[in-house]
């Protein structure tokens, strides 16, 4: 009888040890997985800052900016002077009293339908035939400079005369 009691006690101790080992393994594996996920999330958060830029807009938002008075440079790479326009427009943006500025790229897939053979500023949304500089005041286009007028208009803004 003593042997069966000893055998049963050994059996209970072995079952208890196996149970503790299983629970310990489960806890250890869970801890490792959770810590690895936290490290991956930290690495992902540190390496993937979302940089939102507000200077480039789409045509459908041209009249919806928060500023009351601003300029929008509409560009297309089809115009040989587009890089010069961007450069001069950027110079204007650095001036102390410059109005807010935005840029629209007509080559962007969201804007392609607004690039046509002839400009039209009479509809709800404008249609552009190429590079254009517009001034928007209180949600209305108040000034329009196309093709050869753009360079002189930007120079006027930069030089202030």
Indicate if 77 and 38 belong to the same structural domain: no
Q: How far is residue 119 from each of residues 26, 124, 132, 141, measured CA to CA in Å?
A: 69, 13, 10, 13
- R_g of the chain, CA atoms, integer Å: 33
Report the side by side order of strands in the sheet with 101-105. Answer: 101-105, 69-75, 132-137, 140-146
Indicate if 73 and 37 belong to the same structural domain: no
Indicate if 94 and 21 belong to the same structural domain: no
Indicate if 31 and 71 belong to the same structural domain: no
Q: Is the pLDDT of residue 109 over 90?
A: yes
Task: Report the relative pairing of strands 140-146 and 132-137 from DSSP bridges.
Answer: antiparallel
Indicate if 45 and 75 belong to the same structural domain: no
CA-wise closest residue to 69 among 153, 14, 137, 9: 137
- Residue with more model confidence, 47 or 79: 79
How many domains is the chain built from? 2
Indicate if 108 and 92 belong to the same structural domain: yes
What is the pLDDT averaged over residues 65-69? Answer: 93
Mention every residue, 6+ apart, whose C-beta is less than 8 A from residue 66.
Answer: none
Per-residue model confidence (pLDDT) at position 4:
79
pTM of the model as a whole: 0.66
Range of the domain at 68: 59-159
CATH number reported for the structural domain that contains residue 122 in this entry: 3.40.30.10
**Average predicted confidence (pLDDT) for the chain:** 87
Per-residue model confidence (pLDDT) at position 46:
53
- Alpha helices (runs of H) in the chain, residue ranges in sequence order: 2-47, 82-93, 148-159
Indicate if 24 and 96 belong to the same structural domain: no
Indicate if 16 and 67 belong to the same structural domain: no
Indicate if 85 and 147 belong to the same structural domain: yes
List beta partners, residue 74. 104, 132
Helices then strands, counting H and E runs in the chain, come out as 3, 4
Indicate if 115 and 79 belong to the same structural domain: yes
pLDDT tens sequence across 32-65: 888 877 777 666 555 555 554 568 999 999 999 9
Indicate if 69 and 40 belong to the same structural domain: no
């Amino acid at each position: 009888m003593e042997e069966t009691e000893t055998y049963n006690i050994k059996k209970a101790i072995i079952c208890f040890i196996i149970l503790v080992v299983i629970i310990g393994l489960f806890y250890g594996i869970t801890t490792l997985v959770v810590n690895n996920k936290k490290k991956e999330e930290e690495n992902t958060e540190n390496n993937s800052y979302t940089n939102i830029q507000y200077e480039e807009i789409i045509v459908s938002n041209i009249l919806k900016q928060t500023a009351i008075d601003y300029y929008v440079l509409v560009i297309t790479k089809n115009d040989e002077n587009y890089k010069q326009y961007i450069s001069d427009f950027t110079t204007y943006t650095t001036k102390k009293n410059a109005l807010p500025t935005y840029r629209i790229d007509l080559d962007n897939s969201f804007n392609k339908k607004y690039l046509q053979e002839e400009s039209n500023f009479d509809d709800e949304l404008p249609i552009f035939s190429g590079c254009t500089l517009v001034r928007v005041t209180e949600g209305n286009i108040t000034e329009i400079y196309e093709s050869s007028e753009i360079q002189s208009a930007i120079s006027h803004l930069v030089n202030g005369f």
